[in-house]
Amino acid sequence: MACTTILVGKKASYNGSTIISRNDDGGFEPKKVLVMDPKKQPKKYKSVIAHLTVELPEEPLRYTYIPNVNTKKEGIWPACGINEANVGMTATETITSNPRVQGADPLVRYQPRKGREKEVPGGIGEEDLVVLVLPYVRSAREGVLRLGSLLEKYGTYEMNGIAFNDADEVWWMETIGGHHWIAKRVPDDRVVIMPNQFGLDTFDFDDAYGAKKDHLCPDDLKEFVEKNHLYTGPDENFNPRLAFGSKSDSDHIYNTPRAWFMGRYFLPRTYTWDGENADFTPESNDIPWSFVPEQKVTVEDVKYLLSSHFQGTPYDPYDRVSGFHGKYRSIGVPNSDDSGILEIRGDLPEAFRSVEWLSLGGSGFTCCFPFYTNVTKLPDYLSGTPERVSTDHMYWASRLIAALTDAQYYSAIILDERYQNAVLNRGRALLQEYDTKMLAGEDVKLLEEANQKIMDMVKEESDKALGAILKNTSEKMKTRYHRNDN
């Protein structure tokens, strides 16, 4: 699965919040947005893909999640969520590896029963991770440690990157082979960019085996690296990317261009990104995993990048003249099922500090709206998505708007931009209104009213945009006559 991740430390963000975000680029799977009642959280979890059964702890927390509508086909695939302890989690960013790692610690794949041989369950994966971890942790660090213990016990059948945040910290975790993993706390003043490629480029083993302040890993990771001759870089500074990652031709088409565009956006003056003397190009293997941005980062910045398609460069797939359009895989793509931006606002009371900003279906041309996560239910416009197409639900309305905008990009994009701006503007105003009410001492139950009001607004704007963009696209159909018969 292809995805893109952006992480923002609290001193790098516009309001002191921590932000983790990810495009969930799947396969046009209808999605709904739910709140898991702790009483309904299973005591025993069984995965669909790996046929693995996992016993779960007692007393889970309530949490939001974005499952597939049809969970029987490939499982839940929860995407991301925030629990009632104000801990966020995205799962997952599919990342790269190399044959040395895979040979030393093979992935744990499901083996169906053959003849007299018994079925062998696989490890855990994207289908499962949010359900297995998010309900049982009260900090971002706890999220890393719980998932790490599960990986060591059960293994995994795929390479993944997972983000966690709470009011103070952001952590990034990457799996290594079948049972190993590595994690680093994002420095408070930094932004992280991740494009489906193993990302970490610095790691301190002394800290990981000592104070464990900013680095975590299994007890045997250093021995694993040395025994299997995994590291190919200079001895003085360990670069995990050189040990566990890749630098293939396909990376240069699929992954590094996305890091290049995001770095170019956040650091336009720090480095040269274009021309013969560029510090980094779309095919550079050494684009930094993290950096201090030139300006404080907003939710709107993150949304723009997760929707982007190399605007302002010769590689924009909608460019008509450069000759390079479509050369590289862009960030915002039509097969995004959802795009979640999880904002934990540490300067606000715990009851309403967590907000999830969400786009559904085809991230390039969909709106982004907020909702409060400390609730017991969400409006039907979000939670009731059916498998059939229905404009009565946000997922399908978004899909239709995105598809029609793409079909007539040059005439429809202005209509789509107005729509996206209207939802962001009105969403911000409603957040401000209800934050003010909550600060004045209103009951937490008011947050469900706020979410309903936000979704009523989103439906109003989506219906209006769908009508305008459908009219525009219909008028551009190839079979058309202009004789006005009365």
Please write the tens of the pLDDT for every residue from 178-202.
999 999 999 999 999 999 999 999 9
3-class SS at 107?
A: coil
CA atoms within 13 A on the CB side of 93: 31
Name the band, by pLDDT with cuts 50, 70 and 90, for residue 23: very high
C-alpha distances out from residue 154 to 28, 54, 171, 465, Å: 29, 9, 22, 47
Residue 272, token pair as written in the block? 């040269």
Residue at 393: amino acid letter = H
Give the residue-averaged pLDDT of 221-227: 98
* Annotated catalytic residue within 3, 80, 217, 367: 3
By the 8 A CB rule, do 294 and 307 touch? Answer: no
d(CA 17, CA 181): 27
Count of C-beta atoms within a 10 Å radius of residue 61: 16
Joined tokens for residue 318: 């909608």
> Residues 102-112: pLDDT tens digits?
999 999 999 99
**DSSP labels for 296-351?**
-B-HHHHHHHHT---TTSTT-TT-SSSS-TTSS--SS-TTEEEEEEEEE-TTS-GG
pLDDT at 484: 63
The CATH code for residues 2-366 is 3.60.60.10
pLDDT class of 235 with cuts at 50, 70, 90: confident
Which pair of structure tokens corresponds to residue 367?
């709106």
Strand partners, 194: 5
Assigned token pair, 353: 């500090």
Is 217 part of the annotated catalytic residue set? no
**pLDDT at residue 325 is higher than 90:** no
| Non-local CB neighbours of 63 within 8 Å, separated by 6+ positions | 35, 36, 81, 82, 83, 84, 130, 134, 135
Percent of the chain with pLDDT over 90: 91
Tokens of 398: 């978004």
Are 27 and 2 in contact by the 8 Å Cβ rule? The answer is: no
Residue 458 confidence (pLDDT): 98
What residues does each domain of the chain span? 2-366, 377-479
pLDDT of 145-190, one tens digit each?
Answer: 999 999 999 999 999 999 999 999 999 999 999 999 999 999 999 9
SS3 318: coil
When pLDDT is averaged across residues 353-376 and rounded to a whole number, the result is 94
Mean pLDDT comparison of 232-236, 331-335, 336-340, highest-scoring range: 336-340
Residues 6+ apart with CB under 8 A from 275: none
Per-residue b/e over 88-104, b at no fewer than 16 CB within 10 Å? bbbbbbbbbbbebbeeb
- When the pLDDT of each residue in the chain is averaged and rounded to a whole number, the result is 95
